[in-house]
Amino acid sequence: MKNRNITPMLKAIIAAALFGASAPISKFLLGEIAPILMASLLYLGSGIGLFLLRRFQGSDTRFSDEAGLTKKDWPWITGAVLAGGIAAPIVLMVGLKNTPASTASLLLNFEGVATTVIAAIAFKEAIGKRIWMAVLLITTASILLSWDSSGQWGFSLGAIGVLGACILWGIDNNFTRNVSAKDPLSIVTIKGLSAGAFSFVLSLKIGFSLPSLNFVLLAMLLGFFSYGLSIVLFIWAMRELGSARTSALFGTAPFVGAALSLLLFKESQGTMFFLALLSMIIGAVFLLKEEHAHLHEHESTVHEHRHCHNDAHHLHCHSDEETPKTGYHSHIHEHQLIIHEHQHTPDIYHRHAH
């Protein structure tokens, strides 16, 4: 099982690196683009870019063998769009206006904490002591970074804005978790186009003017990589690892953003910054070292998703007319009742109660 998890872990880490670059680069572009308009361009870039990718993929079957969306998926997608696609990026862009880019980059690590807490409380995802210890460490680091040390007690409004965006993305991640078995390219394209269009119309209604074409294209290109490809990889990883553990790996994103911030803006940081960084690193290590195995039961179920027949969960047969057993494919199939024990994560097959 450990070897089987390497691929989804790599996908989560690459997704984190792509997203981690978004905060400092967005901070740079916010000098020319209003926050709400910036959020709209990021999501429009992801939606349009992924739509074009699908159109020009040609004979590449990596996406065509995915399961399509159904009517029961739409409430989850709608909730994800409202929370993570519309509200979160607007709150984040407003927060970034009043927060150093490096601090904001590290605060984005709180998204993993929010996702974990919501997954445990609302969706009953199995979470052990190591993960809760990591939650405590990352929360402590987020508090250290949020504290206003300018001479007045309280938290900086900019930092609270970034944390608010993380909570909204935590809701988004858990909603998306419930449709992660379906085609991620379609999910992210829908989220990007709908959220981007809403924020774009809102920014025009408020009266924000468009920047030069160069800045528009830069923002959309950033959105394609940081909000498009990044989220597609995130959903692929979430299938295998569950929302809490995928978000744990996604916690490397702020470190990428912080390093890039220091290079781009030459921001000086004090002792508090490096204490928070150390706390977050230790928290991330706790999350990555977590293991989980016990005797568990798979109830009989019928569903559709992309799969192959090289594991113990897809033992069904195909007729001569259907897709052969070799390779990945998608169709409605039945899982018989199975009781067995092995190391596992809360992937789409292991979301049982504990």
Which residue has better confidence, 23 or 266? Answer: 23
Kindly report which listed range (39-43, 251-255, 316-320) carries the lowest average pLDDT score. Answer: 316-320
Which among 102, 129, 127, 136 is positioned nearest to 279, based on CA atoms?
Answer: 136
DSSP state of 126: -
CA nearest to 296, candidates 233, 347, 231: 347
Share of the chain above pLDDT 90, in %: 21
Model pLDDT, residue 354: 52
Mean pLDDT of 347-354: 54
Q: The tokens of 264 are what?
A: 């781009």
Ranked by mean pLDDT, the top range of 52-61, 171-180, 234-243, 262-271 is: 171-180
pLDDT band at 152 (very low <50, low <70, confident <90, very high): very low
Q: Which residues pair with 333 in a beta bridge?
A: 303
Determine contact, residues 244/131, Cβ cutoff 8 Å.
yes
- pLDDT for 269-320, tens place per residue? 667 777 877 887 887 777 666 665 656 565 667 666 565 566 656 566 666 5
Apex CA 11: angle with CA 10 and CA 14, to 5°? 85
pLDDT at 148 over 60: no
Confidence of residue 3 (pLDDT cuts 50, 70, 90): very low
* Mean pLDDT on 3-27: 82
pLDDT band at 115 (very low <50, low <70, confident <90, very high): confident
Specify whether the CB–CB gap between 327 and 308 falls below 8 A. Answer: yes
Rounded to whole angstroms, the Cα distance separating 116 from 6 reads 21
Q: Work out the average pLDDT over 53-75.
A: 73
- In this model, does residue 263 exceed pLDDT 80? no
Structure token pair of residue 166:
């993380």
Helices (H), 207-326: 213-223, 230-250, 253-265, 271-288
Residue 321 has pLDDT above 60, yes or no: no
Q: Would you give the DSSP letter of residue 71?
A: G
| CA-angle at 291, arms to 287 and 294, nearest 5° | 145
Report the sign of the C-alpha dihedral through residues 162, 167, 170, 174, in that order: negative
Question: How far apart are the C-alpha atoms of 121 and 37, rounded to whole Å?
Answer: 34
Mean pLDDT within 105-122: 80
Single-letter code of the amino acid located at 238: M
Distance (Å, whole) CA 71 – CA 51: 21
Amino acid at residue number 219: A
Residue 339's pLDDT is: 67
Angle between helices 110-121 and 157-177 (to 10 degrees): 50
Angle between helix axes 213-223 and 35-55 (nearest 10 degrees) is 60
pLDDT confidence bin for 1, thresholds 50/70/90: very low
